[in-house]
Every structure is written in structure tokens, then in C-alpha cells.
Amino acid sequence: MMYLYAMLAGIAGTIAGWFVAAMAALVIGGLTGMSNFEGGRAMFAVWGAGPIGGLIGLILGIVLVLRYRERLSGFGAIVRRGVMVAAGIAALMAVGLLVRLYTTPNLSQPYPRVVFEIRLPPEVKIPDRKQVKITLDTDRNQTDALLDPKWIAQENGRPVLRGFVDLYMRTTNRLLVLKIAGEPDRIFQIKLWGNPGRMDAYTDWEQVEYIGEDRGILRRADEKDNYEFRFRVEREG
């Protein structure tokens, strides 16, 4: 329990020391005429003086518990255990930051980019570019995809649409929706981790998953719905 009490005291001391130092810096800065242009005085107080006060509060909180509650004597014993307590607090903070990083819904920049190709049936007439819209639909947001400058190609007598879309949200529920004026929606499932890494090669061709009928009704695609797509992920770093 000694280390637990010392850790709690260190955390409380850090918060209290940060607050006291920041408030003191604000008051002293005002009395000495420090400029507050664009909040400069407040920034100095919080991020300049605050960390110094937080460090002092951390040390005092740990030392007071070890010295007066746990009755440790000797400079060396207090320092050894104090370092262990500080390391425990640092590890706890690192775990908290990692949990926050991997649970936040927003992905960080540079955003992953899905580069895709959609292969149409051979008998389909190539649509006008203005009639084509492709979106990425997730349980968190919707993003418009962009078509490549060379957005249409031919592969074994079949038209192939090319485009890309950035991923902004951390989710595994991603659907690529092909919308061509006057036709039902074709919906493809993008099977990726919430925060995907780079893929150097395209996936295999996969058949469309759902067909959007009238009034928002979806049906499972069958063999007659000869639309396919594949993708890869581009990501810096």
C-alpha cells in the first residue's frame, strides 16, 4: 500500500503544484507588466511555470508520504523508493495515453488512403463522369471519394473505375457505395482494421455485397450482379 499512497500523493501534488504555480505566474506577470498579447501571459503561466510547479508538487507529495506516513528514514531509502513511485506514475500515464490513442474515434494525420478499382460488367455502357458518385459510408461519417484523372480503364473488355478516398475515422464498418445516375446503388465492403497500415498490392477482386433497391431497401447481391472491386491502402511512414 505504501507505493499506492505515494503514487496518489504524487499525482495530487502534481495537479496542485501545477495550479498554484500557474496562478502565481499569472499574478506576478500582471504585477510586472508582462504582455498578454494573444494570451501570451496565460500560455507562459500554464505551460511555462505550470510544469515546474507540477514537478515540485510531485516530489513533495511522494516525499511527504514516504517520510511521514511510512516512516522511512535516510535520504537514500527515500530517493530509491521515490524513483520507483515516479516510474510507476509515468508508466500509468503512458498506459492512459496509449488507451486514449487507440480508442479515439478520429485517426491522426497523415490519414490512410484507400485506392480502389471497381470493375463493371462487360455489357455496361461507360457512364458519364458527372453521373458517377462514390462515397465511403461508415457508422461514424460519410466521405466523398474522388475519381482519378484517368478514372476509366479497360481490363479484358470490362470497364474499370479508379478512385481513392481518405479514412478519417477509426472503425471497421466501412462501405464503398457506387452511385450511377438512374441505377441502383452498388455497395462493397472494405475489410480493414480500424487503423490500417500500408498495403503495397491490391486485394483480390471481390464481388459487390449489396444492391440498393427503391425506397432504401437493400438486397444481397447474387451472381447476376457482376460488379467487383479491389483496393489497397496508401499511408505515409
pLDDT, one tens digit per residue, over 59-88 is: 888 888 887 776 777 777 778 888 888 888
**pTM here?**
0.62
**182-189: long-range contacts (C-beta < 8 A, 24 or more apart)?**
182/131, 184/211, 184/212, 184/213, 185/211, 185/212, 186/118, 186/210, 186/211, 186/212, 186/221, 186/225, 186/227, 187/211, 187/212, 187/218, 188/118, 188/227, 188/229
Question: For the stretch 139-171, what's the b/e string if a residue is b when 16 or more beta carbons lie within 10 angstroms of its beta carbon?
Answer: eeeebebeeeeeeeeeeeeebbbebbbbbbbbb
Strand partners, 142: 137
Domains present along the chain, CATH in parentheses: 2-103 (no CATH), 113-234 (2.60.40)
Rounded to an integer, what distance in angstroms lies between the CA atom of residue 63 and that of residue 77? 11
Q: Over the stretch 181-212, which tens digit does the pLDDT of each residue have? A: 989 999 999 999 988 999 999 999 999 999 98
* In the predicted structure, residue 140 carries a pLDDT above the cut 90: no
What's the whole-number average pLDDT of the chain? 87
Q: What percent of the chain has pLDDT over 90?
A: 38
